[in-house]
Structures are given as structure tokens and as C-alpha cells.
Amino acid sequence: MHQYSETLDTQIFSINIANGKPLIYKASVILVQQSRTGIKVYGEGEWKTRQHGISKRRTWRKLHLAVDEATGEILSGVVTDNSCHDSEVLGELLDEIADPISQVDADGAYDTAACYDYIDERGAIAGIPPQRNAKIWFHGNRKTPRHPRDENLRKIRLVGRAKWKRLINYHRRSLAETTMFRFKTAFGGKVSSRKMNRQVNELKVQCLVLNRMIQVAKPDSYAC
């Protein structure tokens, strides 16, 4: 079931296929967000702009997705307005996934204390590159266990950022970007509904359809 809030700030929906073949959840999750291009709301304002050249500010939504790196299927999604920061929805994305998660990979926008806390609560490894000018949060004289983000930063300083990414298989995050490319290619990266709750439903249907396309058409690959 998807949930609607009373404001237009955040709408949450979970990706499940009620009838037919269920999603095959794997033990690793990659996060991808529609942060740079967004989802365009195509409506009356766009028609006026094309017909009469009237300058009107376009409306955008952001679609944040959690993608299974092994299958490319969408596990959960959050729709927000364009002002919502990517890191604010990580907890909601993970909450929609009931299965165990072994690793969460995301870009530097998720390099926040709250995101690391969400990932730690799920018992997963955080594959988030610290910012270029990052500093150690907690030094080694603490009695508590070392913070995962500080450990990542120490490893990067020791072996370099490129090798650290190879060690944690961060390059596989590109598979999630492939899912987003498929999504935009198939559905155009836009919605036609005017109200937020209908836009959420429209995007949810698109995600479900894409999952079905992946399940039906994607071949199984085996190493020789």
C-alpha cells in the first residue's frame, strides 16, 4: 500500500506486484535518484507555452528510486517536489524494503550522518563516497566503535578514492543508472496528471510496468 501525506512535500509509494510474478529480491541494494533532470509535469502551462509563447515556470517532481543491482528491478520509490534534498528520503526508501539489505550504494549527496544511521539500522554496508574535503567525524580515542563513514575516509586516504570504489564494487551503481535510463526512455520522464497524488499513482504504474518488462524480456546471464 502507498501512503499519502497531507502536504505536497513528499509522497511515498512502495513497488510491489500484487498479481503475477513477484519481485525477486537480492541481498544488495543500489540507490539512484532523479535529481538532475526530474520528472516534468506536462499540463496546461506547457500547452500555452507551445501555442502562444507565454513564459511560464515549469513544474518538476523528483523521483527517487531504490534499485536491485542484481536484477535492475525497482524495489521502492519516493516522489517529492523539486526542493527536497536527495538525502532526506533515504530512510523512507529503505523502510519500504522488507528484505535484508547487505549494501547500500549512493553518491556523495547522501554523505550525511542521518543517512549513515539509516543504513546502520538495516545492518548494511554504506557505499557512499565522502566529500572531497571531508574530515573525520569521530577520532579513534572514542570508546564506541568507529563510525563507518570515518573508516571509509581512512581507507580512501590510504589507497585512494578510485581503488576504494573498486574494493566495494561501487562501479555497479551504474546498473541503477541504467534502470533510470530505461525508465525515461520508456515513459519520457514526464507525467500528465495535475494533482500530486495522481502523479504518484502515474509514476507508480510506470515503475510496475518497467519491472514487468525487465522480468519478461531480460535474459538470464551465466558465467562460462
pTM beyond 0.85: the answer is no
56, pLDDT greater than 90: no
User: Maximum CA pair distance of the chain?
Assistant: 67
164, pLDDT greater than 70: yes
pLDDT, the chain, mean: 76
Q: For residue 197, which phi and psi values (nearest 5 degrees)?
A: -65, -35
Question: Per mean pLDDT, which of 6-15, 65-74, 151-160, 168-177 is the most reliable?
Answer: 151-160
Q: What pairing do the DSSP bridges indicate for beta strands 3-4 and 10-14?
A: antiparallel
C-alpha cell at 190: 514526464
Short-list 112, 34, 19, 104, CA closest to 69:
104
Structure confidence by residue, pLDDT tens digits, 115-125: 999 999 998 88
Predicted confidence at residue 34, as pLDDT, reads: 37
